[in-house]
Copies of this chain bind each other. A is one copy, B any other.
Amino acid sequence: MPYPTRITLNTPLDMHLHLRDGEMLHNIAQASAHTFSGAIIMPNLVPPVTTKEEVVAYRARIEEAIGDETFTPYMTLFFKPSYDRAFLESIKEEITAIKLYPAGITTNSEGGVSGFDVEDLRETLEAMSDLDIPLCVHGETNGFVMDREAEFVSIYERLAAAFPRLKIIMEHITTKESVAALDRFENLYATITVHHLFITLDDVAGGMLQPHLFCKPIAKRPEDREALLKVALAAHPKVMFGSDSAPHPREAKESCGCAAGVFTAPIALQLLTELFETHNAPLENLQKFISGNAQNIYGIMPPAKTVILEKHPFTVPESYNGVVPMYAGEEIKYTITEVSDG
C-alpha cells in the first residue's frame, strides 16, 4: 500500500527527554514543546532533582521556557534508595515516574545507585508499587561498553521478579537482549530512541568518528538494531518512543573528550515517519509508538495536538541555538507543515 504524502500524527509524546536547565533549557525547550504534547522530563540536573520543591520549581522553569505552547512536562524524580513511603506519598501528585541511574553511568548521574541489592531497595520500590509510580531505569553496568546493557538485563529481571506490581521501564534500549526481556516479565516496558532505530556503532566509529552520534548507551550491532526495529514498527504494546534527546553545546561535542548525547527533538517525528514509510509499516503503528502505547502504559491524558507532515525534503539546520542536531546539514524526507492544538 503506498504511503500517503500527507500524514497526520496525533498527540505525540516523547517518553524520555532531557531539557536541562538555565540557558540551555531556554534554547531547546521549544523544539520539543512545539511538536509534542508532552514528555517525560529527566531529573539529572546538577544537582539532581530529589525534592518536591525542586520538582515544582523545575516544572515552573520549564513552563516559563516553553511559553504558550501546549505541552505537558511529565516530571520525574532522581531515584534515591532513601525515599520512604511518606515522602513518596507527599510527592506523588507532582511526578509521573522516578528515574534510577546506576552511579556514574552517564551525564550527571554521579549520585545514582551503586548496588542493586533487592533488600536495599525494597522499602522504596514497594512503596512505589503501592502508589503506582513507575520506575524508569538507565540499564547499564560498568562493564565493557558493548556489553553493559546486555549485562544489566539480569538486574532488570531481578527487580521485575521481586516487585511484580512495579512498572519498570527499560529506558533507551539498544540490544536484542533487552528486547527479549520485554516478553519474559509482565511488568517490564521500554522506550526506544529514534537514533537507535537508525544507527549502529558503524555510523559512530566505522568511518570517521562522529561525535554528534555518540551517546549512552552507545549504538550497538546491526542485529540489535534489527531487534529494536521489529518491536517499534510492530508497535509492540510495551514499547514507547522516547527520544533521549540530549543537548550539549557544540564545543562539548566537538572536542577532545566529547560528551554523550544526541539532539533529536526537532527532527524525531520526521525521522520516525520516514522510518515507518521505508519499512512500509502501518501508520496506525506509528501512532501507537509515538503516543497510544505511552498513554496506556503510564495512564496519562496528554493535551491533544495535531502534527501534519508532508513528504518533501527538509534540510536539517546546522544548529538550533548553538546545539547541533542529529543529521545537521543533511536532507531528510519529511517536513512538518502544520501543528495545531486539538
Which chain A residues have a beta carbon within 8 Å of chain B's beta carbons?
144-146, 200-202, 204-206, 208-212, 214, 218, 221-222, 253-260, 324
**Which of A200, A205, A221, A324 has the most chain B CB atoms inside 10 A of its CB?**
A205
List 8 A-B pairs, minimum CB-CB distance, nearest first.
A209-B258, A145-B206, A208-B257, A209-B214, A145-B202, A254-B256, A209-B211, A145-B201
Residue A221 contacts which of B146, B202, B221 (CB distance < 8 angstroms)?
B146
Residues of B within 8 A of A146 (CB): 146, 201, 221
Residue of B nearest to A107 (CB): B208
Residue of B nearest to A324 (CB): B256
A144:B221 contact, CB within 8 angstroms? yes
Residues of B within 8 A of A258 (CB): 208-209, 211
B256:A200 contact, CB within 8 angstroms? no
B209:A209 contact, CB within 8 angstroms? yes
In the complex, A210 Cα to B255 Cα: how many Å? 9
User: How many Å from the CB of A335 to the closest CB on chain B?
Assistant: 24
**Could you list 7 further interchain pairs (A-B, Cβ under 8 angstroms) beyond the known A146-B146, A209-B211?**
A144-B222, A146-B221, A208-B260, A209-B258, A210-B256, A211-B211, A253-B256
In the complex, A253 Cα to B256 Cα: how many Å? 8
| CB-CB under 8 A for A211 and B256, given A204-B205, A205-B218 | yes
**Which of A221, A257, A260 has the most chain B CB atoms inside 10 A of its CB?**
A257
Residue A144 contacts which of B200, B210, B324 (CB distance < 8 angstroms)?
B200
Residue of B nearest to A211 (CB): B209
Residues of B within 8 A of A214 (CB): 205, 209
B144:A202 contact, CB within 8 angstroms? yes
In the complex, A172 Cα to B326 Cα: how many Å? 33
B144:A201 contact, CB within 8 angstroms? yes
Residues of B within 8 A of A221 (CB): 144, 146
Residue of B nearest to A329 (CB): B256
A209:B260 contact, CB within 8 angstroms? yes
Residue A254 contacts which of B208, B255, B324 (CB distance < 8 angstroms)?
B255
Residues of B within 8 A of A256 (CB): 210-212, 253-254, 324
12 A-B contacts (beta carbon < 8 Å): A145-B201, A145-B205, A146-B146, A205-B205, A208-B257, A209-B260, A210-B257, A211-B258, A253-B256, A254-B254, A254-B256, A256-B324
**Which of A208, A209, A210, A211 has the most chain B CB atoms inside 10 A of its CB?**
A209
